[in-house]
Structure 1
């Protein structure tokens, strides 16, 4: 099956502080989940087109942190931190994503689910919940959905390589 036949969807209801992205993958939930758990894998695929990351710290456990700097194609550095809330291998991953600032008012919650669709096929659903509709609107203005979809496309290329 080619990438053009895979289902890709995004939604962001105007009255809710959420963005949900879905993509089908030609990979098992376990393979996809591993791509989120290994620092070397994340360096290979995480971020939109033209972006790279430098891993600063990685403690993959509930309560652990993943700290990294995302480097934009224009040379701008973006500090990031994920604080893991829930880890169910091959099923669900949840974390708080912020700018590596304690009590970051722009921080948001992310939940990722991995649903088996059949032999080596998975539906990944990523839902981000922002502190307010206004906070969600702010990230929409800089193209969060398109950039997120680029990231999922890079994940697809990584897991099928």
Structure 2
């Protein structure tokens, strides 16, 4: 299978406090899903290239939890939450909170949709409490980190690191 360059689409609709990420991958849903739930694989692609990620807790199953730290120079950003539903290889539903950013929690749903030719469309829908929180998420620079992470994931999928 030849790899084509795919772009991550980031959409924040005017009428909902939602951020939607859509990205196609030249790999099956099983493989893309595995790269999202296997801690060793996740650490190889998650986040921007200039950031190290440390998994403090990772129990990726329905009713499990997680906590990770992004480290960039002297800055550390801690995110944590619960996995509400993990259905292999089709979806993950989780909450996300960020230490030091108040009591706000967002709800995320990852959908891994099979496409012709053994490909996958990943749609991540993040539902925020309000438009202000949604706009803060968009303004945080997350788009840059997500795009770089998806490019790194493309490389892992292409080189056979994800069986």
2:142 matches 1:144: yes
- Mapped contact 1:9–1:22 kept (Cα < 8 A): yes
- Per the TM alignment, residue 100 of structure 1 is displaced from its structure 2 partner at its CA by 5.2
Q: CA deviation at 1:151?
A: 2.0
In the TM superposition, structure 1's runs of 4+ consecutive aligned residues that sit over 3 Å from their partners are none
For 2:141 and 2:26, the matched residues in 1 are separated by 26
What is the aligned partner in structure 1 of residue 122 from structure 2?
124
* SS, match of residue 69 in structure 2: strand
Aligned partners of 1:125 and 1:85: how far apart in 2?
17
Q: Given the alignment of the two structures, is residue 21 of structure 1 paired with residue 21 of structure 2, yes or no?
A: yes
Instruction: Tell me which moved more, 23-32 or 59-68.
Output: 59-68
Counterpart in the other structure of 2:84? 85
**For residue 45 of structure 1, what is the aligned residue in structure 2?**
45
Q: Distance in 2 between matches of 1:158 and 1:66?
A: 23
Is 2:11–2:19's contact at 8 Å kept on the other side of the alignment? Answer: yes
* Maintained 8 Å contact 1:15/1:133: no
Name the structure 2 match of 1:99.
98
Aligned partner of residue 49 in structure 2, secondary structure: coil
Summarize deviations over 1:32-85 as a string: whole Å, max 9, x none.
11111111111111112311111111212211111111112x331111113101
SS at 2:143 equivalent: helix
- Of 126, 131, 134 in structure 2, the residue corresponding to residue 133 of structure 1 is 131
Equivalent pairs, count: 157
Moved more, 24-33 or 50-59: 50-59
Deviation at 1:130, TM superposition (A): 0.8
SS in 2 for 1:152: helix
* Partner SS, residue 19 of structure 1: strand
After TM superposition, the structure 1 stretch with the greater mean CA deviation from structure 2, 147-156 or 16-25, is 147-156
